[in-house]
Amino acid sequence: MGDVFETIPDRMRDFIEAQKLFFVASAPSGGGRVNLSPKGLDTLRVLDERTIAYLDFVGSGVETIAHLRENGRIVVMFCAFSGPPKIVRLHGRGEAVEPGDPRFAGLAAKFPSEPGVRAVILVNVERVSDSCGYGVPLYEYQGERTALGAWAEKKGTDGLEEYQRTRNAASIDGLPGLRWVSGGGS
């Protein structure tokens, strides 16, 4: 049986920041498709005991951003793939802070500069839980993939904007995606 916390304890913060991989899940209200995405590349920061942020890159879909715009619900999960077994889940309310938002530059400055960043996902953590992770296999970290950055650099600014216009205006369920592509609003 795991423990539940209202905030991120320091010992858990150390565990979270040491992970090379994390998973993000979101879903629209009242049906639609649940989305689960793996994330990596030194893209997550614990800002304080109730707030995390991670970089969101241009991709073929825009599910998390669309779901956050629609209802804000999000869960971020971390698994220990080496060392003692552990799983940590952060449930909360999130929002996509896009480049047009005055907060974007300050948040993005907390991360290494990367090509293809389309938003910073900001999460207000409401529930923190941990569990044993006995069923998670052991894996050895070998390094980061470089394909995403190379792809974004090759596309260039104009190519990335066109890609987002054609692929990030709406989710697979038709919810509005990126604000600048789908006409703003909430």
Residue range 132-156, pLDDT digits in tens: 999 999 999 999 999 999 999 999 9
How high does pLDDT run on average in the chain?
94
Percent of the chain residues topping a pLDDT of 70: 98
> Is it the case that residue 185 has pLDDT exceeding 70?
no
- In angstroms, the CA 21 to CA 106 distance is 24
- All structural domains of the chain with their residue ranges: 3-180
Residue 181 pLDDT grade (very low, low, confident, very high; cuts 50, 70, 90): confident
**Predicted local distance difference test score (pLDDT) of residue 182:** 73
Kindly state the average pLDDT of the residues 105-113.
96
Which pTM was predicted? 0.94
**Predicted local distance difference test score (pLDDT) of residue 146:** 92
Q: How many CB atoms lie within 10 A of CB 167?
A: 16
Residue 186 pLDDT grade (very low, low, confident, very high; cuts 50, 70, 90): very low
**Predicted local distance difference test score (pLDDT) of residue 1:** 59
**Predicted local distance difference test score (pLDDT) of residue 60:** 85
| Helix residue ranges per DSSP H, the chain | 10-18, 63-70, 104-108, 147-167, 179-182
Chain center to CA of 184 = 21
42-76, pLDDT tens digit by residue? 999 999 999 999 999 998 899 999 999 999 999 99
CATH architecture classification, 3-180: Roll (2.30)
Q: Encoding tokens for residue 91?
A: 């449930």
Kindly state the average pLDDT of the residues 25-49.
96
